[in-house]
Amino acid sequence: MSQGCTDKHIVVTGGTGALGTAVVQALIDQGATCHVTCYSESELERYSLKDHENVHVTAGMDLTKEDIVVNYYASLPALWGSAHIAGGFAMSPLTETSIADFQRMMAMNATTCFLSCREAVRSMRQDGTGGRIVNVAAKPALVPTGGMIAYTASKAAVASMTQSLGEELASENIFVNAIVPSVMDTPANRSAMPDADHSSWPGVGEVAATIAFLLSPQNTATRSALVPVYGRT
């Protein structure tokens, strides 16, 4: 077990989902203490890490609400890292996408990312040693894909914020990066696409390993990057 994150406090938003659980596991394997947010209490019923001594879960977190995000981050010890996995997905043709659909995707993906980045930076500045932030963009934000305009636009906003903040914060040793996943190998995705070549999809453990490295003190060079995690897709 690597101890690269021993004594480091790291937030994982959406840490009870398939990817989030894998990220938390990878981080606690490195010795980190993880502060996990989830939206619904029901998510805790199936969360295998809820009783781990280095995992602290807060349910009922609507990360689109500024006051909730501000108060949550302010309640934590000074952070080293923050991984922003919480978000949502939707797809529909342009003329079937309402303004409410568009605003919902922007809130779930772009707004949550913005607020979490901002409050994480405030926390990291408390001891002045720096920190690491990892956001989650998506392959359709970089590779033209039709039929999901609201989702694509919201993830493109995440990608743009990541690169902008990576430049703004580098002098403080706060490195900001984003992973850019394709379809990941999760039970939900297998159920939705039963005829796809699942073996070509990146596994959540593989994606989590990339996130864990980008969050670790061992990452001394990579910032402002949009890191593809496409597997063989």
Domains of the chain, start order: 9-229 (3.40.50.720)
pLDDT of residue 190: 84
Angle between helices 18-29 and 204-215 in degrees, nearest 10? 50
Alpha-carbon distance values, 186 to 22, 162, 230 (Å): 11, 25, 14
Q: Whole-number mean pLDDT of the chain?
A: 95
pLDDT at 1 over 80: no
Closest CA to 20 of 154, 99, 134, 148: 134
pLDDT of 121 reads: 98
For residue range 149-161, what is the model confidence (pLDDT) as tens digits?
999 999 999 999 9
2, pLDDT greater than 80: no
Q: State the pLDDT confidence band at 53, using cuts at 50, 70 and 90.
A: very high
Whether 195 has a pLDDT exceeding 90, the answer reads no
Residue 142 predicted with pLDDT over 60: yes
Taking 90 as the threshold, does the pLDDT of residue 188 lie above it?
A: no
Residue type, 199: S
Q: Is the per-residue pLDDT at 3 higher than 70? A: no
Of the pLDDT bands very low, low, confident and very high (cuts 50, 70, 90), residue 189 is: confident
Contact 83, 25 (CB under 8 A): no
Q: Strand order in 55-58's β-sheet?
A: 55-58, 33-37, 9-13, 81-84, 131-136, 174-181, 226-229
Among candidates 201, 211, 208, which has minimal Cα distance to 231? 201
Percent of the chain with pLDDT over 90: 84
Q: In this predicted structure, what is the pLDDT of residue 199?
A: 85
More confident residue, 137 or 233: 137
Torsion over CA of 219, 220, 223 and 226, rounded to 10 degrees? -30
The percentage of the chain sitting over the pLDDT mark of 70, rounded to a whole number, equals 99
- pLDDT band per the 50, 70, 90 thresholds, residue 201: confident
Alpha helix stretches (DSSP H) within the chain:
18-29, 66-74, 99-105, 112-124, 139-142, 149-169, 187-192, 204-215
Hey, how many other C-beta atoms are within 10 angstroms of the C-beta on 94?
10
The confidence score (pLDDT) of residue 95 equals 98
Question: Quick one: 106 exposed, middle or buried, by C-beta within 10 A (0-12, 13-18, 19+)?
Answer: middle
Provide the pLDDT for residue 151. 97
pLDDT in tens, 106-132: 999 999 999 999 999 999 999 999 999
